[in-house]
């Protein structure tokens, strides 16, 4: 058997990232947080996660320093969940996932789920990590998203279905 | 409750990527494939996955078109697993995960698990997605990795432990 020559699981940054993101629910939760959805029920509606699953994943993300839980209301106390700087820095991972899936897992003729333009120069960035117009490396906050009609109505349908339960 | 305004799970590229990568074992397997480790037992050694887990994940990746399974030996037939173009394009996701974990999950004073230099210009790329020297967007095949001594010996230790079972 060939002797591999690189790193071990514990030392390995891929394994460390996998400990945070190697979970489907967590990725969907992070997606919502990046969309600016911060409240438990709203995250639940859009991810389809059961409350216990969601609580478990949010606790874990909080424990890892990826999100903060802070009260937005007293009597009764209600919390919201927001990305820390460490969490916001996961943008590059989620954006790479989005670009990959839009390139390889999208049905022919289907529009991009969200079209992004570079705020600074107004140019459509397509599926690139640097702006094709001005060359800037695209970071969290640099992009303005316009959802496709299909995607928009699908999200509204989820909210409606949840409210009618 | 606020009405979210973007995309649904089925239509959503993050959900599609999560279907492929929202799994710890799959991420470790992809890491090995990017390192050029292609054989079942070698992947098993370095990921620590049990054979049934590994078989299951490899089948799934094959089904998704991310890897190809091809014979490297007859009598008895033995297969190796290699990334397709669709699989190689996941480099940007794994590289973003590596960069994030090296920035946020690395113990102080610990060296990078792998130091990468840009083959074309020979410059250390640090934790960047474009070369800090020549500005090129870094893609799969552009980087030459030099593992740290600690990482290297940890991998060898795994092989030794496996062989002594």
State the DSSP H helix or E strand holding residue B147, giving kind and residue range, or none if neither.
strand B143-147
Which of A9, A16, A17, A61 should be substituted to probe chain B, the one whose Cβ sees the most B Cβ atoms within 10 Å?
A17
Low-confidence ranges of chain B (pLDDT < 50): 1-9
d(C-alpha B28, C-alpha B61), whole Å: 13
Measured in whole angstroms, the distance separating CA B103 from the mean position of its chain's CA atoms is 18
Q: In 3-state terms, what secondary structure has residue A66?
A: coil
Give the pLDDT band (50/70/90) at residue A100: very high
DSSP result, A1-61: -----S--TTT-HHHHHHHHHSBHHHHHHHHHHHTT--BHHHHHHHH---HHHHHHHHHHH
Residue ranges per structural domain of chain B: 1-88, 90-165
The architecture that CATH gives domain A1-89 is Orthogonal Bundle (1.10)
How far apart, in Å, are the Cα atoms of B43 and each of A1, A69, A88, A103? 11, 39, 32, 28
N-term to C-term CA, chain B? 57
**Dihedral angle of Cα A102, A104, A105, A109, to the nearest 10 degrees:** 70
Per-residue model confidence as pLDDT tens digits over B84-98? 999 999 999 999 999
State the DSSP H helix or E strand holding residue B154, giving kind and residue range, or none if neither.
helix B149-163
Contacts of B22 (CB under 8 A, 6+ apart): A21, A22, A23, A24, A25, A26, A27
pLDDT number for residue A10: 66
| Chain A residue closest in CA terms to B158 | A8
CA distance A70 to chain B (A): 18
CA distance A33 to chain B (A): 11
Q: Which residue has the tokens 């003729």?
A: A109
Q: What mean pLDDT is reported for chain A?
A: 91
Q: Yes or no: say if A93 and A16 are a contact pair by the CB < 8 Å rule.
A: no
Question: Count of CB contacts below 8 A, A vs B?
Answer: 240
Of the candidates B21, B33, B23, B48, the one whose C-alpha atom is nearest the C-alpha of residue B157 is B48
Nearest CB neighbour to B150, from listed A1, A11, A65: A11
The CATH number of domain B1-88, selected from 3.40.50.300, 1.10.10.10, 1.25.40.10, 1.25.40.20 = 1.10.10.10
Q: Which residue has the tokens 């303005």?
A: A144
pLDDT at A7 over 50: no
CB contact under 8 A, B24 and A27: no
d(C-alpha A141, C-alpha A27), whole Å: 19
Across the range A106-122, mean pLDDT stands at 94
Q: Yes or no: say if B101 and A7 are a contact pair by the CB < 8 Å rule.
A: no
CB contact under 8 A, B114 and A6: yes
Nearest CB neighbour to A15, from listed B28, B39, B156: B28
- A88 CB neighbours in chain B (<8 A) are none
Question: Tell me, what's the ipTM?
Answer: 0.90
Of the candidates B17, B14, B13, B11, the one whose C-alpha atom is nearest the C-alpha of residue A152 is B11
pLDDT number for residue B1: 40
pLDDT number for residue A1: 40
Judge if the upstream peptide bond of residue B76 is cis by omega within 30 degrees of 0: yes
pLDDT number for residue B6: 40
- B16 CB neighbours in chain A (<8 A) are 101, 105
CB contact under 8 A, A4 and B159: yes
CB contact under 8 A, B7 and A158: no
d(C-alpha A101, C-alpha A107), whole Å: 10
Nearest CB neighbour to B155, from listed A8, A35, A93: A8
CA distance A131 to chain B (A): 11
pLDDT number for residue A118: 97
Per-residue model confidence as pLDDT tens digits over A137-162? 999 999 999 999 887 888 888 888 88
Q: Yes or no: say if B142 and B132 are a contact pair by the CB < 8 Å rule.
A: no
d(C-alpha B99, C-alpha A29), whole Å: 21
The bridge status of strand B143-147 relative to strand B114-118 is antiparallel
């Amino acid at each position: 058997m060939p002797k591999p020559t690189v790193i071990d699981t514990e030392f390995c940054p891929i394994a460390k990232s996998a400990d945070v993101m190697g979970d489907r629910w967590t990725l969907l939760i992070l997606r919502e947080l990046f969309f600016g959805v911060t409240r438990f029920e709203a995250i639940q509606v859009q991810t389809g996660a059961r409350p216990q699953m969601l609580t478990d994943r949010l606790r874990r993300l909080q424990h890892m320093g990826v999100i903060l839980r802070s009260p937005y209301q007293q009597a009764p106390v209600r919390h919201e969940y927001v990305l820390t700087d460490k969490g916001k820095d996961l943008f590059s991972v989620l954006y790479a996932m989005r670009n990959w899936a839009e390139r390889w897992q999208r049905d022919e003729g289907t529009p991009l789920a969200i079209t992004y333009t570079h705020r600074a120069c107004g140019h459509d960035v397509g599926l690139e990590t640097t702006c094709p117009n001005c060359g800037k490396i695209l970071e969290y906050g640099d992009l303005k998203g316009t959802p496709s009609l299909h995607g928009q109505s699908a999200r509204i349908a989820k909210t409606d279905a949840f409210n009618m339960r």
